[in-house]
Structure 1
């Protein structure tokens, strides 16, 4: 195997590893979304929204 062939194969492996990592991250995100929906766990946006609503209701009580 020539150095050029080796470099080409290594680049191909690196590209495939990158594609696999991206696919794994998508799969991980989908599984987390499914679990969150199944167990009704709030995500970060819902937690932030609940915090904002708590501040609003606290402000209304003190007004």
Structure 2
């Protein structure tokens, strides 16, 4: 399965998490995922992709 979320550099040392399907910054709990430190963005994008894969796998099992 392809990852839904990826990192994009906004400014030096400022990263955004983007939805690769829409090209738009991701929004989690009404917060736009921009202006993040490299470490914070890397950790968050991994968590978001794992969660998305789990959701899609559950949806596939339900049919």
Whether TM-score is above 0.5 comes out as no
More strand as a share of residues = 2
More helix as a share of residues = 1
Instruction: Name the structure, 1 or 2, with higher relative contact order (CA <8 Å, separation 6+).
Output: 2
TM-score normalised by the chain length of structure 1? 0.42
Q: Which has the larger radius of gyration?
A: 1
TM-score normalised by the chain length of structure 2? 0.42
